[in-house]
Structure 1
Amino acid sequence: MKRFTAPEQWSTQYLTTGAFSDLATLFKIDKLSDWPSCQWFSQYLNAETSQGTAISFVEDEKFADETRYYEQIIFETGQVPTRQQNWHDLFGGFIWCLFPKTKALINHQHIEEIKLHGLKERSKHRNALTLFDECGVVLAITEQSWQQQLRDHQWQQAFVEQREQWGKSIRPFMFGHANYEMLTQPYIGLTGKALFVIVPNDIFCKDLSEQYAYLDQRLYEMIKVDDCLRDNKNLSPLPLLGVPGWWTDNENPEFYSNTDYFRPKRRKRT
């Protein structure tokens, strides 16, 4: 994957491989000649707020005089303020299409936290919701051992020694739209926040859209029932350029020898 040279312009040249390959498969973005409009998303969008109002994307200019907070607008109207020709909001739109139930739940929980604490004070719960929303990567795993390896920063074992298992017993699914935006201008040090989800052994044999639908339901349950985003303790650092298939340089095992990027786990003081 190469760098974008002009992120302000629409280009699909680099949006078809690496971390963007799922978007190319599901949204056919390589067929687009210009930025998707708000209306373009409607063919893929099947989401509603927790109150049952259909979600739609609306040009940000409509809310120029709005005094309500971003999450309040979405919760009360179902309208998502969307800046045109803006990578951050474009990728945010894709995530709404891929994880509609989870996105609506996160929006609802933001509102509940605002009711409790107001807009000035951000609780640990709200910080975790934001961190996952912006930087989250769902690591779907069929074997619990993956979670321990990656939480313990066993990068060589996870990324090199067991590389052939990626796509078989572990698969990454991007949730954080800020991750996508930053990957248009990748740099060493780029790190997401992994949330591990145990999945059935046959999940990766299913159609890609079915995999996303399954994960959307599981995330919804984990956040609503298990309260996994009460704080950020369940979110683990994940060097995004180390994920197999997401960065061509990591095909060379020496790439992982950079301990400034692939840092060892800090020892807890006794």
Structure 2
Amino acid sequence: MAQQVLQHGAPVHRALQGAMAAPVQFVPQDDLPEGAAYEQHIFETRRVPTRDNLHDFFNGLVWLQFPQAKRRLNELQAGAIVAHGIGAVRGPLRDALTVFDENGALLDAPAPIWQALQAREWTRLFVDLRPLWHEARLLLFGHALLEKLAAPRKPIVAHVYRAQCAMDSVANADAWLAQQMEPGHWAGKPFSPLPVLGVPGWWAANEDPSFYADAQVFRPPRVLAGPTS
């Protein structure tokens, strides 16, 4: 519905506002007072300043699909801003929240897939274990990730969080994810990088195993230097 409204030339905030019920109101970008922190403004007013671009359109769609998780994420961002202010560098919690907000996803998959993903064993993950991906479900959350996939490129990476809940509906996943967002846990960035176009069925080119030989995309695990004598 929102897309149909946009096609008739309506501003993005108006298209989103008329789509379905949301815990926030979508308003023009000018609603954000000069000098105000974006996340804190949303938390205090429940109004989301929205620009007329694809990035903010997808942000609005995520608010509509994951209202509980987005509200919790915003609450934590605003709390960190109140506690520490706005500095040149985000603290660990705000940095992790921003990473997931922009590029996050939930992955429900059998244990061997998770083990290979965390070890960055790309050939095992996508070639050897390919049949197991039929038992996996990848649910996108990050609005920047969605924007990038509108013009797909091989290097696009999602930061995935392991889903340990019933993924039979987005509503269940949303409620579970909101409960997972505890500051101490989240500040540690409990995510794994996943080149999403390597997922079986997501990109025709990955039917060829040589697709995964590109070390610029499917990077080997980092080797930590040992102590020097």
TM range (shorter): 0.7 to 0.9
What is the identity percentage for the equivalent residue pairs of Structure 1 and Structure 2?
34
- Name the aligned partner's letter for residue 229 of structure 1: W
Tell me by how many angstroms 1:251 deviates: 2.3
C-alpha distance in structure 1 between counterparts of 2:143 and 2:8, whole Å: 20
In 2, Cα distance between equivalents of 1:29 and 1:165: 34
Which blocks of at least 5 consecutive residues in structure 1 are unaligned? 1-26, 49-54
Distance 1:245 1:228 in 2: 32
Whether the aligned pair in 2 keeps the contact of 1:144 and 1:198 (CA below 8 Å) is no
Q: Residue 103 of structure 1: which of 64, 70, 89 is its match?
A: 70
The question of whether the paired residues in 1 share the 8 Å contact of 2:2 and 2:19 is answered with no
Shift of 1:35: 5.9
SS, match of residue 58 in structure 1: strand
Aligned to 2:203: 247
- 1:248 CA drift (Å): 2.3
For the residues of structure 2 that align with 1:228 and 1:198, how far apart are their CA atoms? 15
Q: Is the 8 A contact 1:151 1:236 kept in 2?
A: yes
User: 2:26, 2:50 within 8 Å by CA — same for their partners in 1?
Assistant: yes
**Other-structure match for 2:28:** 59
Matched, 1:126 2:82: no
| 1:265 alignment counterpart | 221
Matched, 1:228 2:185: yes
| Residue type of the alignment partner of 1:74 | I
CA distance in 1, matches of 2:2, 2:26: 19
Q: Which has a greater percent of helix?
A: 2
Q: 2:157 aligns to what?
A: 191
For residues 71 and 262 of structure 1, what CA distance do their matches in structure 2 show?
A: 33
Q: Give the aligned partner of residue 177 of structure 1.
A: 143
Counterpart contact for 2:119–2:221, Cα < 8 Å: yes
Asked if the contact 1:45/1:96 (under 8 Å) is kept, the reply is: no
- Structure-2 residue corresponding to 1:33: 7
Structure 2: gaps spanning 5 or more residues: none
Matched residue pairs, number?
224
Change in CA separation of 1:89 and 1:157 when aligned onto 2, cut-off 3 Å: same
Distance 1:163 1:32 in 2: 39
Note closer, same or farther for the CA distance 1:155–1:30 as it changes in structure 2 (3 Å cut). Answer: farther
1:213 maps to: 171
- Provide the TM-score with structure 1 as the length reference: 0.75
What letter matches 2:185 in structure 1?
C
Q: Is the 8 A contact 1:47 1:101 kept in 2?
A: no
Change (3 A) 1:161 1:185: same
TM-score w.r.t. length of structure 2: 0.87
